[in-house]
Amino acid sequence: MADGNNLFDEDPQKTSKSEKSEKTTNDQQKQGQPEGERSPWSLSRRRLIAGAGAVAATGVVVGTGATVAVEKLGGGSSNKSTPTQSNGVTYGVPSGESVTASVVRLNVNGVDQFVSVMPNQSLAEVLRENLGLTGTKTGCDRSECGACTVLVDGVPHNSCSLLAIREDGKSIITVEGLAQGTTLSTVQKAFMDNMGYQCGFCTSGQMLQATALLKSNPNPDEAAIRHALSGNLCKCAAYPNILASVQAAAKAPKA
């Protein structure tokens, strides 16, 4: 994702991947290729995530010529939709079937939570809407801004692009889990002391990304910090203060 305002945007792999995907879709549109004849890989993220959710719920592998079979899962509410066909694959819920919620166990900030989730719910949605942890922000909702960053088994991920049903049994750390009671973490304190924010919308994601960086590399140089936070955009362009905050956190006495 290239953004002229993003001073941290130094990850050519991410940039080229995103642009490549958009270019493929644009090229197909320019050529007037009907959607139904496009490669399955050019499906929109929303359709892909819906299809993947059904697979996660049922354990059925979907390929060309296959139908997404949906089994009823125990408990919870149900959603019904009209199946659509593309390239020989049927997406959606077959007539007479329904998709229902499934219970997953998420260890969130050290506490086991048993949550009833729909197969197409992202982890960000479940954290915010099911568990009320609104410190995780949703910006782009398409893995481009990093606002929704959380740690999954210690590794930063864009929670908007993870299916909650697939995170069963994982350990999730959100911004609410950084402090110990009323004592801020080193990274939180450094962001506060150095004003590593303006509006604050991106800040939880920035802090979780910085937390993961300092755990794997306690003394990062400026280039390493810029690289690590390159996927976390700040529309307020508070980058100099964010950088200073992470540098201050790295220099702070280790607990």
Angle at 206 (CA atoms; ends 224, 11), nearest 5 degrees: 45
Out of 56, 60, 103, 236, the residue judged to bind ligand FES by CB under 6 A:
236
Nearer Cβ to ligand FES (179/199):
199
Nearer Cβ to ligand FES (147/210):
147
Least Å distance between CB 148 and ligand FES? 3
**Does residue 243 bind ligand FES (CB under 6 A)?**
no
For the chain, give the number of residues: 255
**Does residue 240 bind ligand FES (CB under 6 A)?**
no
Nearer Cβ to ligand FES (51/196):
196
Token duo for residue 125: 């949605």
Least Å distance between CB 124 and ligand FES? 6
Q: Closest Cα partner for 87 from 70, 61, 59, 66?
A: 66
SS3 29: helix
Least Å distance between CB 84 and ligand FES? 26
**Does residue 200 bind ligand FES (CB under 6 A)?**
yes
Taking the C-alpha atoms of 119, 122, 123 and 125 in order, what is their torsion angle to the nearest 10 degrees?
-110
Q: Interaction with ligand FES in 120-179: which residues (CB under 6 A)?
A: 138-141, 143-148, 158, 160
Question: What is d(CA 169, CA 150) in angstroms, rounded to the nearest whole number?
Answer: 15
Residue with tokens 């490669």, as numbered in its chain: 39
Number of H helices, E strands in the chain: 7, 9
Out of 212, 214, 234, 244, the residue judged to bind ligand FES by CB under 6 A:
234
Q: Interaction with ligand FES in 206-225: which residues (CB under 6 A)?
A: none
Which one-letter DSSP state was computed for residue 126? I
Least Å distance between CB 45 and ligand FES? 11
SS3 61: coil
Nearer Cβ to ligand FES (38/142):
142
Least Å distance between CB 207 and ligand FES? 11
Nearer Cβ to ligand FES (42/159):
159
Least Å distance between CB 235 and ligand FES? 4
Which amino acid would we find at residue 68? V
The answer to whether the CB of 146 falls within 8 A of the CB of 233 is yes
Which part of the chain contacts ligand FES (CB under 6 A), choosing from 19-27, 39-47, 174-182, 228-236? 228-236
* Cα 100 to Cα 53, 59, 85, 90, 117, distances in angstroms: 11, 14, 21, 18, 9
- Interface residues toward ligand FES, by CB under 6 A: 138-141, 143-148, 158, 160, 197-203, 234-236, 238
